[in-house]
Amino acid sequence: MSVPSYEVWAVAGMPEVRPGDDLARLVADAAPGLRSGDVLLVTSKIVSKAEGRIVRADSREEAIDAETVRVVARRGPLRIVENRQGLVMAAAGVDASNTEPGTVLLLPADPDASAAAIRAGLRELLSVDVGVIVTDTFGRPWRAGLTDVAIGAAGVRVLDDLRGGTDAHGNPLSATVVATADELAAAGDLVKGKAAGLPVAVVRGLGHVLGDGATAAQLVRPAADDMFRLGTSEAVREAVTQRRTVRAFTAEPVDPAAVRRAVAAAVTAPAPHHTTPWRFVLLETETARRELLDAMRDAWIEDLRRDGKTEESIAQRIRRGDVLRNAPYLAVPCMVMDGAHAYGHARRDAAEREMFIVATGAGVQNFLVALAGERLGSAWVSSTMFCRDVVRKVLDLPEDWDPMGAVAIGHPAQPPRERVARAPEHFVTVR
């Protein structure tokens, strides 16, 4: 039985690349011995140079801004961003190394197309069928240090999907998809080096990785599958700004554990006198939700009739509560005033209660933001505050628990509408 092996070496003799150079011809001249089945690893910098992706160094920050479509994380001057190519990396890939003084390089506009052009050129010049990978240097979440990865590819199976197979012990492989193109890029980096002036490498002996139709764009994880799409502070801001009042939900059930995680976030809110004024009643069964909402509806109808409202007007108002009735999960935040100070003075006692109300609101806001972070929609509806006695009776709550509305929770039935822009300066007074 033969043992798998391969060779990798750097290509010597590559000249300094200038805008407009034909990279395929330069490679063919430096490596005329290329064979079909080889994989060519080309540093993105020389591709960028050949394609004229050069800007003045004093425009670097502007270039980063221009190449950025989304800021993922920011720490001081360092920015991790998603760039125009869909890659998440530092400074959008704008690079000041291995370029003439006073200039910086942008990444190739379409690295997959660049790889395909080099491959086609080598086929014409040398009559060989090789794979081509355009590489760039990346940092990685969870890991120190840098490594080369594939940002462009042609003629290479960039991913090796092993799902559905078994390992050496017969265990099923259910999640194993190997990033073959990235592994090849890293292998080439071992011989190219960062400062050796050797921008091209060849891997031989792995002809099985060649194949048409794949591109490096397939290595970019889709947003829906990316659990680490934002940095920590950015994720907090995202959850705050993306929180919406959701009034229509799908029938998909809500994970009770997700709601409890949101409660854990809620009870970190500030409160007076080191108290804990929050209580959350979680209505996880349809029976509990229906009993509460039916009792609240009956109490509301009775109040409206006492106010002289017409039956048509009452029906319209009752329909406004459908957001609660249609939600697959309800939470009733309550305020308790354990630990409140009793001053025996009307103004001070009223201020004390206000402090507890504010603290409860802070807890509910934490709760709503945490639900958004769990990708759950919510609507905080104040109706329980108008019939607290009814709510306490139906839910069998202590007399000193004040229901502070109800929160409808579920998976949004449609994407949220764009939020109306609010300029912060309209809400700020500086003294």
296 has pLDDT over 80: yes
Q: How confident is the model at residue 397 (pLDDT cuts 50, 70, 90)?
A: very high
Q: How confident is the model at residue 417 (pLDDT cuts 50, 70, 90)?
A: confident
**pLDDT for 177-200, tens place per residue?**
889 999 999 999 999 976 678 999
**pLDDT for 230-251, tens place per residue?**
776 777 777 777 788 898 999 9
In the chain, the percentage of residues whose pLDDT exceeds 90 is 62
Residue type, 163: R
Q: How far apart are CA 97 and CA 158, in angstroms?
A: 27
Query: What is the residue extent of each domain of the chain?
Result: 7-53+108-225, 232-427
Do the beta carbons of residue 106 and residue 64 sit within 8 Å? no
* Greater pLDDT, 1 or 182: 182
Give the Cβ contact number of residue 389 at 10 Å.
10
**pLDDT for 346-366, tens place per residue?**
898 899 999 999 999 999 999
Range with lowest mean pLDDT among 14-18, 76-80, 150-154, 425-429: 76-80
* Three-state DSSP state, 177: strand
221 has pLDDT over 80: yes
Q: How confident is the model at residue 314 (pLDDT cuts 50, 70, 90)?
A: confident
Q: Work out the average pLDDT over 410-424.
A: 87
201 has pLDDT over 80: yes
pLDDT for res 333:
97
pLDDT for res 1:
62
* Greater pLDDT, 171 or 332: 332
Q: Which CATH number fits domain 232-427: 3.30.420.10, 3.40.50.2020, 2.40.50.100, 3.40.109.10?
A: 3.40.109.10
How far out from the chain centre does Cα 379 lie? 23
In the chain, the percentage of residues whose pLDDT exceeds 70 is 97
Q: Work out the average pLDDT over 32-45.
A: 96
CA dihedral 356, 362, 368, 374 (to 10 degrees): -120
309 has pLDDT over 90: no
Q: Which CATH number fits domain 7-53+108-225: 3.40.50.1110, 3.40.50.300, 3.30.1330.100, 3.10.105.10?
A: 3.30.1330.100
215 contacts: CB under 8 Å, gap ≥ 6 = 112, 152, 153, 154, 158
